[in-house]
Amino acid sequence: MPPTGEDLQNHPQLQAPKRDKPLFSPGTGEGQALVIFVLGGPGAGKGTQCASLVRDYGFAHLSAGDLLREEQDRPGSEFGDMIKSYIKEGQIVPMEVTIQLLENAMGRIIEEKGEHKFLIDGFPRKMDQALGFEEKVVKSRFTLFFETSEEVMRERLLKRGETSGRADDNEESIKKRFRTFVETSMPVVETFEKEGRVERVDATKSAEEVYGLVKKVMEKEGIEPVKKQ
Ligand code: UDP
Ligand code: MG
C-alpha cells in the first residue's frame, strides 16, 4: 500500500514551517507571485498552450505532472514508488508532496531568474490541493480552463502515446484519468467558477486557433504580452 495523505502529514521532509498567511502575496513585485492555474482534462492541450504563453508573455511554466515525474525519477527519492503507482492509476498524489514541489520550484525560479509570473499546469486537480495551495503559497489570479470532448482528448492522448513514453498514455490509464477528471477535478473548476474566477476556452480546434482564444482571455484579464507578435 502506498502511503496516504495522512501518513504524509507527519513526514519530516514535508514539514513546512507553519504560516498564518500565504508565502507570497499576489503580484509581480518583491515577495509576490502571479499565478494562473491551467486546467482541463487529460489531453486538452494545456502543455501546448502554456508553451505559447511562455514565449509571448514571459510566464514561467510549472507542470505539476512533470514535477511529479521528475521527483519520481530522482535518485534517492523516497516518494518515487508512491508517485509511480498513483500516476499509472490516474489517481491524485497526496497534496502535501505536490504543493511542496510547486513551492520549491517557484522559490527557485524567483531567486534564479527573477520571474514572478507562473502558469501552474494540471493543478489543482482536487479540492484539498486548491485550498491548501491558496492558503499556504498564494491565491491564484484566475483559472484558465480548456474544454473539449473526451473523444478529442482520447485521440490526442493516443497520438501522444506513440512517442511520449509516458506510463499513462495508454487505453487503460486514459480511462482512469478521465474518470478522476470528471469526479475529482471538475468540482474544483465548478467551485472557482462560482467565485467568478474561471476563464473557459474551447480547446477543440487546432493549437493555433485555440491560442487565438487564449490571447483574448489574457487581454480581458489585463495581462500584456512582453514582445511584439
Ligand atoms: N498528478 C497528481 N497531482 C497533480 C497533477 C498530476 O497526482 O496535481 C498526477 C496524476 O496521476 C495525473 C498525472 O500526474 O494523472 C499526469 O498529470 P499530467 O498533468 O502530466 O497529465 P496531462 O493532464 O498533461 O495529460
Ligand atoms: Mg500536461
CATH number at residue 62: 3.40.50.300
Position 129 scores a pLDDT of 97
- Considering only CA atoms, which residue is closest to atom 8 of ligand 1? 123
Position 191 scores a pLDDT of 98
3-state secondary structure of 16: coil
156 assigned binding-site residue: no
pLDDT digits (tens, 9 = 90+) for 128-155: 999 999 999 999 999 999 999 999 999 9
Q: Is residue 85 part of a domain?
A: yes
Position 16 scores a pLDDT of 62
Measured in Å, residue 121 CA sits from the centre of ligand 1 at 9
pTM: 0.93
CA–CA distance, 45 with 40 (Å, rounded to integer): 8
Position 9 scores a pLDDT of 72
**Which residues make beta-bridge pairs with 60?**
118
Position 1 scores a pLDDT of 57
Q: Is residue 68 part of a domain?
A: yes
Other residues' Cβ atoms within 10 Å of the Cβ of residue 114 = 8
Segments of the chain with pLDDT less than 50: none
What's the domain range around 51? 27-216
Q: Is residue 11 part of a domain?
A: no
Number of domains the chain is built from? 1
- Considering only CA atoms, which residue is closest to atom 18 of ligand 1? 65
Q: Is residue 33 part of a domain?
A: yes
The residue behind cell 486514459 is: 174
Which ligand does the CA of 179 lie closest to?
1
Q: Is residue 14 part of a domain?
A: no
Q: Is residue 2 part of a domain?
A: no
Q: Per residue in 41-73, is it b (16+ CB within 10 Å) or e — as a string?
A: bbbbbbbebbeebeebbebbbbbbbebbbebbe
Q: Is residue 74 part of a domain?
A: yes
Given a contact cutoff of 8 angstroms between Cβ atoms, the answer to whether 39 and 152 are in contact is no
- Locate the ligand 1 atom nearest the alpha carbon of residue 89 and give its number: 11
